[in-house]
Amino acid sequence: MEIKVPRLAESISEATLVEWLKPDGSTVRTDEPVATLETDKAAVEIVADAGGVLSHARQPGDVVKVGDVLGRIAAGNGTAAPAPPAPPAAPAAPAPPAAPAAAAAPVSAQPLRSIIPAAVVPPAAAAPPAAPPAPPAVPTAPPVLAPSVRRIVEEQGLDPTRIAATGPGGRILKEDALRAASQPPAQPATPAPAEATLATPIAPTAAAAGEPGDRIVPMSRIRLRIAERLVQAQHTAAILTTFNEIDMSRVMDVRARHKEAFEKRHGVKLGFMSFFARACIQSMVDVPAVNAEIRGTDIVYHGAVHLGIAVGTPRGLVVPVVRDAQALDLAGLEREVGRLAVRARDAQLTPQELSGGTFTITNGGVFGSLLSTPILNPPQSAILGMHKIEKRPVVEGDAVVVRPMMYVALSYDHRLIDGEQAVTFLVKVKERIEDPERMLLAV
């Protein structure tokens, strides 16, 4: 049975084979994960459709397309799994004899080179020089890291090229990265450059790496995709941002009075995200263009609200989507947002959970942001930015009072949404947050 790259999502046609979870020749069970693919949106595990002996058809780091064969499963009980130890033994055998010969040859061969005819020395002298060039060819390609390994490498500031790999085919396992992170003495391995200076070709490579202390890490497919989409948004949409501020007193009071009963009843904490989600969904009734998109020369007004919630992860910003958010109450929204956030941080989101959004909310306030201008998530036409709640003096009637205030920002595609519509939408959101009863009454 062939293991093929499955259809991942409508907009995804290729992925990178990050790692094999089962070695070549090992026995696998039905539905057991055997490989990890990384797309420009998420990491996806590939499972075996049947039990048997696994054989690899592609190598980690290969870019594969939908329908490509990753490997095959044959009937049997993979007793061939112990085979991997054999390769290390093979290279070790030729090495010892070559070393003494190489050590002795340079001493005598150097002075006699001009006296002894070339025909006398060639076989013995020509063989040893052929061995040294082989090692430098190994470190040319950067190691391909699994998502779990990359996360440890980035968090601990490790150099992947200095991690001792124990996995099949020289792969760096999660255990290898954890071991390297717990061994600071591995740093003294800096004498290696001293040897490298004896060989002139290595010096330019070290200089190209940058200043001392610089760390060069290849961008992941997800990070590359984020960069691509942000630039795409700036180049394809007429982005404009409008701002307002919201008095959070009433919402904070409601939350303080009912959060314990809410959590006890629904099993999830009551946050501010669900209030803003409900306020946005109801305000879209007044300004439907906010939940629309441009397709060619047409405008598509979406009937359902598929709400994207921006989540920061060690691998970058991702935007999982809450499907049919208009049909969920506050508890349903909090539950679904919490579930997706956990899956995002554990790198378990599927491409389906990351696509199809029609409107996005991002909360920079959790990081302390006071004000920002969010960038659209194409092909969506609007995104709401929440920010830090901070006490500020405001005027009420003829008095100056202190209130917990939040700046909010709505970035929108001016090709589709006029300034009047954007301001109206933001004011409607403000009114509903400052008077939560309006959301209960849907007015």
Report, as an integer, the average pLDDT of 2-6.
88
By the 8 A CB rule, do 20 and 34 touch?
A: yes
Whether the link from the prior residue into 351 is cis, omega within 30° of 0, is no
* One-letter amino acid for residue 254 of the chain: V
- Distance (Å, rounded) from C-alpha 417 to C-alpha 374? 16
Report, as an integer, the average pLDDT of 94-116.
43
Per-residue pLDDT at 205:
42
Sequence spans of domains, the chain: 2-74, 223-441
In sequence order, what DSSP letters do the residues of 157-220 get, joined into one string? T--GGGSPP-SGGGPPPHHHHHHHHT-GGGGGGTHHHHHHTTSTTHHHHHHHT-STT----PPP
Q: What is the CATH number of domain 223-441?
A: 3.30.559.10
pLDDT digits (tens, 9 = 90+) for 110-157: 443 444 444 444 444 444 555 555 555 444 556 767 777 777 777 777
Report, as an integer, the average pLDDT of 225-229.
77
How do strand 389-396 and strand 399-413 relate by DSSP bridges? antiparallel
- Of residues 341, 330, 339, the one with CA closest to residue 265: 330
Per-residue pLDDT at 100:
43
pTM for the full predicted model: 0.58
The greatest distance separating any two alpha carbons of the chain, rounded to the nearest whole angstrom, comes to 108
- Of residues 340, 332, 290, the one with CA closest to residue 312: 340
The residues near 435 (Cβ < 8 Å, ≥ 6 apart) are 250
**Predicted confidence band at 314 (pLDDT cuts at 50, 70, 90)?**
confident
Report, as an integer, the average pLDDT of 378-397.
94
Most confident listed range (156-170, 202-216, 274-288)? 274-288
Per-residue pLDDT at 195:
42
By the 8 A CB rule, do 101 and 52 touch?
A: no
- Of residues 48, 20, 313, the one with CA closest to residue 155: 313
Size of the chain, expressed as the number of residues it contains = 443
Q: What's the N-to-C CA distance of the chain in angstroms?
A: 59
Cα separations in angstroms, 128 against 320, 325, 438: 58, 70, 85
Most confident listed range (35-44, 170-179, 270-279)? 270-279
Q: Is 106 exposed, middle or buried (0-12, 13-18, 19+ CB in 10 A)?
A: exposed
- Output the six-digit token pair for 167: 């996995």
**Predicted confidence band at 210 (pLDDT cuts at 50, 70, 90)?**
low
CATH architecture of 2-74: Beta Barrel (2.40)
The overall average pLDDT reported for the chain is: 79
Return phi, psi of residue 85, to 5°: -60, -25
Decide if pLDDT at 386 tops 60: yes
Which sequence positions are flagged as catalytic? 414, 418
Return phi, psi of residue 399, to 5°: -115, 150
Strands of 69-74's sheet, edge to edge?
2-4, 69-74, 52-56, 27-28
Better-predicted residue by pLDDT, 32 or 98: 32
- Of residues 402, 400, 401, 405, the one with CA closest to residue 390: 405
pLDDT digits (tens, 9 = 90+) for 257-298: 999 999 999 999 999 999 999 999 999 999 999 999 999 999
Decide if pLDDT at 196 tops 50: no
Decide if pLDDT at 203 tops 90: no
User: 2-6, 85-89, 162-166: which range is least confident on average?
Assistant: 85-89
By the 8 A CB rule, do 243 and 409 touch?
A: yes
Please state, for a pLDDT cut of 90, what percent of the chain lies above it.
40
- Output the six-digit token pair for 55: 């054989």
